Amino acid sequence: MLHQIDGLILDMDGVLWRGSDPMPGLFNLFETIQQRQLRCVLATNNSTVTRDQYVEKLTGMGVQLRPDQVLTSSDVTAEYLSTVASPGTPVYVIGEVGLSDTLRSYGFRLTPAGAAFVIVGLDRRFTYKKMETAMSLILAGAQLIGTNADATLPTPSGPKPGAGALLSAIATATGTSPLILGKPEPPVFHHALAHLGTAPERTVMVGDRLDTDVLGGNRAGVKTVLVLSGVTSQADLAHSPIRPTWVLEDIRHLAAILESGTEIPGTP
């Protein structure tokens, strides 16, 4: 039952806010989480923003969280690199400030000179020259790593190319298969569960995307809630083989269930 849980993994865009606007019920959700003494971590495939920037955004919306309660695909990437490479290792980054700053904070040198890894996130200043540099490094032996494989990025004006589109171009040019670290792949869920300290069967992933949030949560053995406030519609759900445990309209419905202890049926 949804109200009998210990921890929440929350996606952000399309769940907690849309662009710069908080979703209705945002403050009440976190108030309910605190009252129920539930553990929570926010997990996103967005590599362009740092943990501290997310904390600042939430503070502006009236929600207080610690930086260690935010997990971005940049954090997961840096954590992974720290297990396979020593500080000072040169890496070539195609991405924005969130990814670059996070990798620097772990001691990696951001340079194409002798780079052992090519790290690809969303880069809205992506150029042919950057792809050419990445290709040369990969053909010389560097490993290709993607922060996530999202083909599109939701924006107020409609979908735009995501990090996965850039990653796919480089993978095609080099004939290599990248290592993907963001949702729906296991690393981000392993990190989230380790932070929460909760059992998978008593943890819920709440997201608005079937192919990342729900699929990844299902694979990780956690319960999944699809909210219809983001990119996925009822029609999308009807035609998808990916099935969440529960479907809710938005976080207002989630907060009400957590607060009241109401039992809801699973998704058929």
CB 213 within 8 A of CB 11: yes
Q: Check if 11 is active-site.
A: yes
Nearest to 43, CA basis, from 164, 167, 181, 234: 181
Q: Check if 52 is active-site.
A: no
H or E element at residue 83: helix 73-84
CB 184 within 8 A of CB 210: no
Of the candidates 6, 13, 236, 250, the residue annotated as catalytic is 13
Distance of CA 238 to the CA centre of its chain: 24
- Sign for the CA dihedral angle at 118, 87, 44, 158 comes to negative
Residue 129 and residue 144: Cα distance in Å, rounded?
17
Nearest to 102, CA basis, from 130, 137, 76: 76
Task: Kindly give, in sequence order, each residue whose CB lies less than 8 Å from that of residue 172, ignoring residues fewer than 6 positions away.
Answer: none
Of the candidates 6, 11, 68, 150, the residue annotated as catalytic is 11
Distance of CA 171 to the CA centre of its chain: 21
Which residues are known catalytic residues?
11, 13
